[in-house]
Amino acid sequence: MSRKPKRGYYVKGHFVAEGSELDLELKAELKGTTEQSRTDLKRESQAQQDLGEALIDLRANLMAGLDLPEKLVSALDEAKRITDFGARRRHLQYIGKLMRQLEPDTLDAARAALDVQHQGSAEEKQALHQAEQWRDRLIADDAALTEWLAVAQDAQDHGAASVDPQHLRALIRQARKDAQATAPQEHAGAAVRHGKAYREIFQIVKATLAHLA
């Protein structure tokens, strides 16, 4: 009796019997590669959708510098008006689909624009923090005024408006009076409510420092 031929296939000229150890190894390798590819594609797809979601809040001047399809620009604008959770989730998926159609260079440009916006935000926060520090120093310490007037003179040389020392001193005195008047009325641990003078000092300091950035 003739033997029943084995079922199998050839790989690079070599016969691989179905069910053999080599067959199982090859199938496991192929399955692993397929699953990895699907995982990579899913991860990349989500990253592009996340990038599209971030573009919703991109400043108009930075958006204008991107060569985005009109359909995507319209979808990003529409996203700002959608408040329903389910509708927004579906719309973001649509944005992700449009993002996956973009060329790699366009995606890189979008990431670069977001980096520029993020860097700008960080610098703005730092400027606000510096202005807050100067305001608090001016109110807390008389000696800080002399130092500040030197800074203000430097800023004036760079185009800033001149600072009236007498007006600034009056604002500082008023801010101190406001703090003393409201502090006893506050509950323990509550933040003191500051008056107009406190806010005006901040605006003066902020505007002056902007010319030294």
Q: What is the pLDDT of residue 1?
A: 46
In a domain, 113, yes or no: no
Q: What is the pLDDT of residue 7?
A: 74
Q: What is the CA radius of gyration of the chain?
A: 32
Q: CA 195, CA 177: separation in Å to the nearest integer?
A: 10
User: What is the amino acid identity at position 157?
Assistant: D
Which residues, at least 6 apart from 62, have a Cβ–Cβ distance to it below 8 Å? Answer: 113, 116, 117
In a domain, 59, yes or no: yes
In total, how many domains does the chain have? 2
Residue 55, CA distances (Å) to 11, 36, 59, 74, 76 in order: 48, 29, 9, 12, 7
Helices 104-140, 21-55: axis angle to 10 degrees equals 50
Could you give the maximum distance between any two Cα atoms of the chain, in Å? 117
CATH number at residue 19: 1.10.60.30
Residue from 196, 212, 213, 200 nearest 135 by CA: 200
Check whether residue 86 and residue 133 sit in a common domain: no
In a domain, 200, yes or no: yes
Residue from 4, 8, 92 nearest 46 by CA: 92
| Tokens 């959708």 belong to residue | 49
In a domain, 116, yes or no: no
Reported pTM: 0.49
In a domain, 58, yes or no: yes
User: What is the amino acid identity at position 170?
Assistant: A
Q: What is the pLDDT of residue 74?
A: 95
Per-residue confidence of the chain (213 residues) as pLDDT tens digits?
445 556 777 777 777 777 666 776 777 666 655 555 667 777 888 888 999 999 999 998 899 889 899 999 999 999 999 989 999 999 999 999 999 888 889 999 999 999 988 887 777 888 889 999 999 999 999 999 999 999 999 999 888 888 899 999 999 999 999 888 765 554 555 455 678 999 999 999 999 998 886
In a domain, 115, yes or no: no
In a domain, 141, yes or no: yes
Residue 94: domain span: 8-102
For the beta carbon of residue 128, count every other beta carbon within 10 angstroms: 13
Is 81 buried (19+), middle (13-18) or exposed (0-12) by CB count in 10 A?
A: exposed
35 Cα distance to chain centroid = 32
Q: What are phi and psi of 3, to 5 degrees?
A: -75, 145
In a domain, 156, yes or no: yes
Q: CA 198, CA 135: separation in Å to the nearest integer?
A: 8
Query: How do beta strands 14-17 and 8-11 pair?
Result: antiparallel
